[in-house]
Structure 1
């Protein structure tokens, strides 16, 4: 948990423009971009521009940034005209987190199973 950009963080590099991404939305506090390995017709990652390791750290350290991520997830769903969708935060390796920068997956455009797996 830092709030400061991390030089070895993939998502910090996307925020800084050092790694290309298909950006669909950007605000003062967030960036939303298409996942490079989509799991649904719409699969967009929404990240805070500040670096926090996971959703729990983001909520504790920057609650307004966490709220901004959720607002942008809704905006992504609206832009993609999704009437139903899923927002997923993987927190920890056991939950499938592979990039250690808090991020929300916005998934839609197909039916979703429950439980999610």
Structure 2
């Protein structure tokens, strides 16, 4: 646990309740009104990035990922976008590792747009 971290459950700083809980991970639902059907898979042990996960955590990760997919099954998604933001420059705002899981649907405004789009700007990488 890291004091002040809102994703460390022991700190009791979450504004919501985990939707799924496993021994090494839990899943939160989206509180973002722009992306209401989504979630985040979060490790119970504080680690800032997935690069710090232990082999045991990686072994357990598959179970929560399968459970997350099943959780969204009643919405009948046509695909998923999964993503980690690692480091401030990559958009990480809470420095406790978490995987974004976003169900995707045919006919949605961003249909066919994947996470690689952020790298396809005309002046990249010269803007770095």
TM above 0.5, one fold? yes
Select the structure with the greater relative contact order (CA < 8 A; seq sep ≥ 6): 1
Q: 1:89-108 CA distances to partner (integer Å, 9 max, x unpaired)?
A: 11111111000011111101
- Structure 2 counterpart SS, 1:16: helix
Q: Is the 8 A contact 1:22 1:33 kept in 2?
A: yes
| 1:10 equivalent among 6, 9, 33 | 6
Root-mean-square deviation (CA, aligned residues, Å) is 2.1
Aligned-partner Cα distance in 1 for 2:26–2:57? 11
Larger Rg: 2
1:7 counterpart SS class: coil
What are the Cα deviations for residues 4-53 of structure 1, in whole angstroms up to 9, with x where unaligned? Answer: x00111101xx227133132100111110112215534210111100111
Give TM-score, length-normalised by structure 1.
0.78
Q: How many residues align?
A: 108
Structure 1 gaps of 5+ residues are none
Indicate the residue corresponding to 1:27 in structure 2: 22
**Which residue number in structure 1 is paired with residue 86 of structure 2?**
91
